[in-house]
Every structure is written in C-alpha cells, then in structure tokens.
Structure 1
Amino acid sequence: MSDIEVTSVCEEGYTVENEIDGEWSLVVDALEEDGPSPNQVLAADYASCYIPAFRVAADQTGYDDIGHVEIEVEADLDEDDDLESMTWTLKVEAALGEDGQEIVELGEEICHVHSALREELHADITLEDDAF
C-alpha cells in the first residue's frame, strides 16, 4: 500500500473529482467553473505546506509561539497557462528580528512541496514579521 492514494475522476469536461486517502474530496476544474484550477490548487498547496514547516523551523530556532501566520501568494502564468513564477508575502505576528531569514530558509528545507517543485518555481518569499 502506498503512503498516499488518490483517485481522480473526470466524467466529462474539465472538472476532476479527487478522493484522497478515502477521506477527503477535492474538486479541481481547469476552467475554474466548479472549483479552483490545478495551478490555483498548487499555489494554495505550496503555501499550506510551507506554513507548518515555517512553524517547525521557528520552534527549532527557539520561538515556541509565533502567533498568526499568513501568506499572500502571487503567481504568474506564461502564454501556455503554466506557472512561471510565484512570490509570497509571509506575514508573522511574532517579532523574529535577525532570526527571520534563517527561519524562512529552514522552513524551505522542511517543506515537502518546496522540495518537490523545480527550482525555478520555488517561491520568492518576503517576510513581514511583527505584522499583526
């Protein structure tokens, strides 16, 4: 048995219903009529993976409670609708000071989606600490 099992079904058109590990459902629609597009899902998935990784990195650096964390994602597509670039503004409630960049980089090392993406698409992250 695999660690992750996904069944993706498309009856017609461009809407795909995904069942993930028999517990979760996710609708993805290339035309953005019935759900988010694959590129939108990837952008959200990347940020959703990075936030917990960033929290672990902060904890490993001595910050046990960094409070509210938010990522504003901006992604650009090329003429073929492929993801071309992605930038993030990472907002953190805690004041991280000089440790901020080290935590960002450690978060990248911990984030599984970051590791899976080709280097050209890795998010360019701008950290705004003490933001809330």
Structure 2
Amino acid sequence: ELGTLTAQQKPIVILTSNRTRDLHDALKRRCLYHWIDYPSLEHATQIVKLRAPKASKDLAEQVAAAVSRIRTLDMQKPPGVAEAIDWVNAAMLLGVSTLDARGTEQTLGSVLKYRDDQELAREQGFAWIAGE
C-alpha cells in the first residue's frame, strides 16, 4: 500500500463523447462543454491522406466529399473521419480507384454499418453519394 498520493498540480481531465450514450446530469454540471464539429472537406481530405498514404489524392477527396454528403441525411450513425479512412482503405483493397456510382455501390458497406442508414443512402442514389 502506497498510502494517499496527492498531485502537485490539479489535473485537467478531458472527456469526449460521440453521442452514443447520454452523460449523467451530475457529471455534466461539473464539466465545461465544447462542441467540435466535423473537419472541413479540405482538412478531412488531409486526414484521410495522412492515415491512408497509399490512397490517391483524388480518391481521398472523393471519399471525404461523399462522407460530407452522406452526413446531410438523417442517419442513425452518420459517418465520421474514421469511417472515411475505412472507406478509402476498403476501396483500395477492392481495386476501386475512383468513387463513382459503381464504386460507391461496391464499398458502401464499409462506411455505413446500419441497414436503415444504407437504405436511406441507397434511396438518394449511388450517383448522388459519389457526387455525379
């Protein structure tokens, strides 16, 4: 047993949430709240390229733009940057070099993980998702 340890400086604790669960009111009363929005299209493309360096700049841009379009839909789980990275990696693995309507149809399951979300996206059309 080490006994009681005391910090020389009060620690700062950062809590993050992706809104999958509600935080208890007692915890929220003790916190400062700061909303961090999705990155811009340009920043998202940079992140995707950094995390998937073998991807072409065009594919990274196309996926980032498609994710941005998909986020405008009322989805159960809107895709984030992590899903965009997964999408680019899945596209490359499947030999999809351009995110056109056909490439979107082949790889949509890598970014949307709920059936209702996939159906909602399909209703918009693969060409719409791809920006054609």
Q: Same fold (TM over 0.5)?
A: no
Structure having the higher Rg: 2
Which has a greater percent of helix?
2
User: Which one has the bigger strand percentage?
Assistant: 1
Structure scoring higher RCO (CA < 8 A, sep ≥ 6) equals 2
